[in-house]
Amino acid sequence: MSSINYKRVVLKVSGEALAGKDGFGINPEIIKSLAEEIKSVHALGVEISIVVGGGNIWRGETGAKLGMERSQADYMGMLATVMNSLALQDGLESVGVPTRVQTAIEMRQIAEPYIRRRAIRHLEKHRVVIFAAGTGNPYFSTDTVAALRAAEMDAEVILMAKNNVDGVYSADPKQDPDAVKFDELSQSDMINKDLRVMDMTASFLSMDNDIPLIVFNINEPGNIERVVLGEDIGTKIRG
Ligand code: UDP
């Protein structure tokens, strides 16, 4: 067995990453390849919990801009994360990875309610746990959920999977040819430089709880495994 750098991780996957080239909805091929990647990391003995976003289906902010009441629009966003979580659970189970979905808003017919101790027990029994329905509260993001659940699970790191970006840059590399990639940063650098890898609430929460983050490109096959094996890819953000 290869030597792993982290025993317990939280993987954050944005909804956008599940849409693939379609830009919307859930792409079954992406689910399949993501499930295979998670399977190989799981096989290394890493305890994995996953937070999936919902931006491929719905974002509360978009609804609010269109005139909807913000909380209502945010609840729709949280429901979008449940759809993504169920799709990912299906993908993981079809490659033989035992998985539980826990929702922050009760919907007992389709998933367990979020119970911290039970989630930890699942991880100890080597099941992958997917945290769905956000924090259960409007005005938050799934990045904040990743920081919150990482603290609750006592995870060593948040693996921040990004779509087609291989780390944190000084400027948008697609627009500025002089943009440089950082190998390592602190959360306070991120906040001071306004680098926006995650929203401020999520940044402060990970900083307060001293949880590091690794930002890496999910579109490069094998990257989740590279990160847990300690290869220097992406950008490490100290807690
Ligand atoms: N959301 C929320 N509370 C939470 C987490 C998420 O209200 O605790 C809603 C919010 O409307 C957000 C949507 O769910 O826009 C989808 O989450 P997010 O935008 O974080 O997804 P991602 O960008 O990672 O795909």
Taking only the tens place, the pLDDT of each residue in 83-100 is 999 999 999 999 999 999
Is 216 a domain residue? yes
Hey, which residues does 9 pair with through a beta bridge?
48, 157
**Number of domains comprising the chain:** 1
- Which runs of E-coded beta strand occur in 60-212? 99-103, 112-113, 128-132, 157-162, 168-169, 181-182, 184-186
Domain that holds residue 154: 8-238
163 or 72, which is more confident? 72
Is 26 a domain residue? yes
Q: Are 79 and 108 in contact (CB under 8 A)?
A: no
Neighbours of 35 (CB within 10 A): 23
Instruction: State the Cα–Cα distance between residues 207 and 133, nearest whole angstrom.
Output: 23
**Is the pLDDT score of 193 beyond 90?**
no
- Residue 170: give its domain's CATH number: 3.40.1160.10
DSSP 76: H
Is 65 a domain residue? yes
Residue from 18, 74, 105, 137 whose mutation best tests the ligand 1 pocket (most atoms within 8 A of CB) = 74
Q: Is residue 230 marked as binding?
A: no
Q: How confident is the model at residue 191 (pLDDT cuts 50, 70, 90)?
A: confident
Q: Residue 103: what pLDDT?
A: 98
Q: Cβ(63) to ligand 1 under 6 A? A: no
- Which runs of E-coded beta strand occur in 39-146? 47-52, 99-103, 112-113, 128-132
Q: How confident is the model at residue 61 (pLDDT cuts 50, 70, 90)?
A: very high
Q: Residue 196: what pLDDT?
A: 82
Residue nearest to atom 21 of ligand 1 (CA): 53
Question: Is the pTM here over 0.95, yes or no?
Answer: yes
Is 1 a domain residue? no
Q: 191 CA to middle of ligand 1, Å?
A: 20
Is 3 a domain residue? no
Q: 45 CA to middle of ligand 1, Å?
A: 30
Q: Is residue 59 marked as binding?
A: yes
Quote the Cα angle for 99-149-211, to 5°: 120
With a CB cutoff of 8 Å and minimum separation 6, the contacts of 28 are none
Is 59 a domain residue? yes
Q: Is residue 40 marked as binding?
A: no
Q: 2 CA to middle of ligand 1, Å?
A: 35
Q: Is residue 141 marked as binding?
A: yes
Q: Residue 1: what pLDDT?
A: 54
**Is the pLDDT score of 14 beyond 70?**
yes
Query: Which of ligand 1's atoms lies nearest the C-alpha of 71?
Result: 7
Q: Residue 197: what pLDDT?
A: 87
Q: Cβ(169) to ligand 1 under 6 A? A: no
Is 2 a domain residue? no
Q: Say yes or no: ipTM exceeds 0.90.
A: yes
Q: Residue 206: what pLDDT?
A: 95
Instruction: State the Cα–Cα distance between residues 195 and 177, nearest whole angstrom.
Output: 17
At 180, the amino acid letter reads V
Is 48 a domain residue? yes
Q: Is residue 63 marked as binding?
A: no
Q: Cβ(167) to ligand 1 under 6 A? A: no
- Averaged pLDDT, 124-129: 98
Instruction: State the Cα–Cα distance between residues 55 and 77, nearest whole angstrom.
Output: 7
